[in-house]
Amino acid sequence: MSAVIKASNLSKHYGRTEALSGLDFEIQPGSIVGLIGPNGAGKTTALKAILGLTRFDGELEVMGQDPRQARHQLMRDVCFIADVAVLPRWLKVWQALDFVEGVHPRFDRERAEAFLARTEIRRDRKVGQLSKGMITQLHLALIMAIDARLLVLDEPTLGLDILYRKAFYDHLLNDYFDGDRTILVTTHQVEEIEKILTHVMFIKAGKLVLDEEMETLPKRFSEVLVKPADADRAREMNPLHERELLGRHLFLFEEQPRERLAELGEIHNPGIADIFVAKMGKGPATAGEVQS
């Protein structure tokens, strides 16, 4: 099976700022990949490169094509949504349907209308008259009616409360994802997408610091609750991160044998948010200037 996205030494400079520095990764069909990183880490820049919206250095193949040359062709197979909370306020619901039908050759209007019929949204309403939750539903109706092989979502739930964020991802998974499609999503809110991802990539200051299947994360990372008396022994085992919790020390280890860790205390599988904090470590998250 060939990769949907294949990047090799993908780099991008904005003047002297190195927004992406030499990313290598592959995304396979049927995966749901979270590209996770703090502000300014390079997430949007990476997506823009994939969508052919910005120039870059290095090699990038999206469904076998170079996005620099085949942007129009790619747009037939790719659906891109940035930030569901921002549809123009003056736009009426039927106009949104008309617009997407006009610009996207793979938009199935009946499917979108059927989804909307299950909501309280009336077709003659303006976006400005809808609640945020309704706007999310409208966006979902538009996304889910596009028969795209690759769906790229940039911070799709920004500005929504937790209930709507959860509903958004539930719909995406239950009503859209079918195992053949591929979803690439960026977010800061790691915890709430943890359960839907098949793969996770962490980006920091323009570099990938983790690229792993969700299934193999527990093999790679372990969290150990250590009594103060054993804390120094734990520190000798090169933990990725340490924090205090109710008088005990919680250490996060990468690639350390569990038999040895078991001597220090109770072992748990860390959540993705804890791994994220540990991997981000110290140092700037935003890309720095190129040294001359």
Ligand X SMILES: Nc1ncnc2c1ncn2[C@@H]1O[C@H](COP(=O)(O)OP(=O)(O)OP(=O)(O)O)[C@@H](O)[C@H]1O
Identify whether the C-beta of residue 90 lies closer than 8 Å to the C-beta of residue 126.
yes
CA-derived radius of gyration, the chain: 21
The residue (of 80 and 107) whose beta carbon lies closer to ligand X is 80
The residue (of 42 and 67) whose beta carbon lies closer to ligand X is 42
The residue (of 38 and 271) whose beta carbon lies closer to ligand X is 38
Read off the amino acid at residue 43: K
Give the three-class secondary structure for 251. Answer: strand
The residue (of 36 and 134) whose beta carbon lies closer to ligand X is 36
The residue (of 145 and 287) whose beta carbon lies closer to ligand X is 287
CB of 287 to ligand X, least distance (A): 5
HSE, side-chain direction, 13 A CA sphere, residue 292: 3
CB of 22 to ligand X, least distance (A): 15
CB of 252 to ligand X, least distance (A): 23
Which DSSP symbol is given to 81? E
Positions touching ligand X (CB under 6 A) are 14, 17, 19, 37, 39-45, 286-287
> For tokens 């911070």, what's the residue?
155
How many CB atoms sit inside 10 A of residue 3's CB?
17
DSSP 151-200: EEEESTTTT--HHHHHHHHHHIIIII--SSSEEEEEES-HHHHTTT-SEE
CB of 61 to ligand X, least distance (A): 20
Which DSSP symbol is given to 42? S
The residue (of 30 and 38) whose beta carbon lies closer to ligand X is 38
CB of 15 to ligand X, least distance (A): 6
Structure tokens at 44: 């949007």
Identify whether the C-beta of residue 44 lies closer than 8 Å to the C-beta of residue 228.
no
CB of 189 to ligand X, least distance (A): 11
